[in-house]
Structure 1
Amino acid sequence: MVKYTDRVQRIWRILANKSDREMAITPLHLLLAMCEENTGPCAELHQYLMKKYGHQFLLDYEKHVIRTHSASLLQTTLPFPVTGKMMEVLNMAEKRMIRYNQTLLNEGHLMQATLRIDSSLGELFTEQDLIMFDKILCRARDMLVPLDNYFPSIENKQLFIRRALKKDEPEIIDFVKSEFGSGWLESIKNGMEHEDISIFVAYHNNIINGFACYEAHDKKRGTFGPMGISNQNREHGVGTILLHHCLLELKRKKYKYAILEGAGPIEFYEKVVGAMLIPIKENDLNK
């Protein structure tokens, strides 16, 4: 059974209210429901389309939504029937979630699948629009966390978390390679070069099950990331505690804000530390 983020569950409720026995949900319905959900990256999508097309776009694009007869509807475990194209989107989104080694299906997985499968969006929107949809919803995003009023609890009796030691480097590198590949190894080495090593490691029964870094990606000051948790520990609070340890270090260093570089899943950081998306601008399209 696929699990969904809270944001996606809100999108499903919006779609359920739009559906009836004579109408199957299409990928365009999905896009419009994301705008209507209007939080996080979905809010940024809504703002982009409102700025470019105005309020009338919602009404105009609804006219393009294909209504189907009940014989053509496909039933799912969701509270609404879907078209064949939408079923393809759901299946591909689930595969992308698994590919990224994630446990909850989010709006980014859905938009990635929609852009790959539904060519009709290219008839309604410009190429620039589709690029922006991808950048807003499908990519890891930089986020901002205010630290002035940040006073988290970091107690967790099931975990042993400490700052990494130089002797831990081979073990951490082996963990990162086995769980996530080689993409974060440079950041691990950067973190190890700080006088106060900027990496925290989580252990359970003397086995490493997660790590988090600060000021390690290109050694940029006031930044958090990367962070990685073993797949079997993703829903056990390991990431939350590691994140708090790193952000508290940045707070102790008198930063008023922390930058979460390439953060994802976005909703996790919104919930845990009130992180806010740093908006994408249209002049960033080629970056």
Structure 2
Amino acid sequence: MLQPLHLLTACLDEKTGVLGEISLKITLDKSLLKDVMEDTSIQHQTCSVFFNVQVTEEVKSILEVAINYMKKYNQIYVNEGNLLKALITTNAVDRFLSDDNRKTILSLGTTSRDMITHIANYKVPIINTHHIRKVNKKEINELVHFIGKIFSNEWSQTISEAFSLNKLPVYVAFDDNGDIVGFAAYDIYKNKKCYFGPMGVALSNRVKGIGFSLLHHCLKDMSDIGYEYAIIGQAGPIEFYEKACNAVVIPSNKV
């Protein structure tokens, strides 16, 4: 029967990415947890559509909280950050974690992180180029309005300032009606070079490969400029960039 501790230990058993970083920085005696996980005498069993084994009511509640976090952040999949945050905020594993351990998990595993990917020998994957192109200066108001409405005023301000550049390092994606549904930029955030972002795709148009295509249009340009690496600032969800361009999380020195 699946318990909250199974979810926690499964996360800590992963040795790559953010979860690998967390596992190196917190201490848990897994041998002491084994007896707890094997004791099902006082657990109420139930079913979950996410697993093919019985789960506890607590696990079911944790998954519901994780799904709520997913919706809150306008995401389409429950990711490791959503699950970790649900484990901590529901207090389901509190008695097994120190305060420092909880802070480490929240700091490293539930927030956006800077990532890096090597693009010196970049090869363009098969991507959709239909309805994706560089933005032109006549579209400033439409793009800024789209970003401010769907994402944030900070992002819209960043993009607005980019229109003062001679060459706009901003790509846009359109739907079949000619409306903007996504964008991606590079080298514009605080005038930082080798810096990808921001990027966003309207929620109703995700899982169509638009974000993947926008990302690789930008990475191709950055590679052509001669950049060795691309920094992906405040990436989220992290697993998208891990799969899309083999990006890795830049280790944090905060904890």
TM-score (norm 2): 0.91
Structure 2 residue 180 is matched with structure 1 residue 203 = no
Q: Equivalent residue for 1:15? A: none
Q: How far does residue 28 in structure 1 lie from its aligned partner after superposition? A: 2.0
The aligned counterpart of 1:241 is 213
| Structure 1 residues 15-69: Cα deviation after superposition (integer angstroms, max 9, x where no partner) | xxxxxxxxx32222211011223332222222223xxx3xx72223334447223
Who is 2:243 aligned against?
271
Match of 1:35 in 2: 12
Q: Tell me whether 1:46 sits opposite 2:23 in the alignment.
A: yes
How many residue pairs get matched? Answer: 253
Partner residue in 2 for 1:3:
none
Match of 2:184 in 1: 212
For residues 241 and 157 of structure 2, the distance between their equivalents in structure 1, rounded to whole angstroms, comes to 23
Return the alpha-carbon distance in structure 2 between the equivalents of residues 203 and 251 of structure 1: 24
| Separation of aligned partners in 2, 1:71 and 1:135 | 31
- Kept after mapping to 1: 8 A contact 2:5/2:37: yes
User: Counterparts of 1:194 and 1:146 in 2: how far apart (Å)?
Assistant: 26
Code of the aligned partner of 2:152: G
Query: Percentage identity across aligned positions?
Result: 31
Aligned to 1:97: 70
Match of 1:80 among 35, 44, 53: 53
Residues 198, 215 of structure 1: 8 Å contact kept: yes
* Code of the aligned partner of 1:42: L
Partner of 1:13: none
How far does the alpha carbon of each residue in 1:128-171 deviate from its partner, in whole angstroms, 9 at most, with x for none? 211110122111111111011211136425x2222112221110
Q: Partners in 2 of 1:221 and 1:69 — Cα distance?
A: 58
* Separation (CA, whole Å) in 2 of partners of 1:242 and 1:111: 29
Structure 1 unpaired stretches of 5+: 1-23
Could you report, residue by residue, the CA deviation over 1:185-228 in whole angstroms, capped at 9, with x for unpaired residues?
22212322322112110112212111001122222111011111
- Structure 2 SS opposite 1:139: coil
Equivalent of 2:79, from 106, 124, 134?
A: 106
Cα contact 2:12–2:22 (8 A) shared by 1: yes
Over 3 Å counting, the alpha-carbon distance change for 1:71 and 1:277 in structure 2 is: closer
Find 2:194's aligned residue among 222, 225, 230: 222
Query: Could you list the runs of 4 or more consecutive aligned residues of structure 1 that deviate by over 6 angstroms after TM superposition?
Result: none
CA distance in 2, matches of 1:200, 1:71: 53
TM alignment of 1:57-76, pairs within 5 A: 57-65=29-37, 67-69=39-41, 72-76=44-48
| Pair 1:182 & 2:150 matched | no
TM-score, with length taken from structure 1: 0.82
Q: Which residue of 2 aligns with 1:164?
A: 135
Task: State the secondary structure of the residue aligned to 2:143.
Answer: helix
RMSD: 2.0
Which amino acid in the other structure matches residue 219 of structure 1?
N
Q: Secondary structure at the match of 2:55?
A: coil
Report what 2:104 is aligned to.
Answer: 132
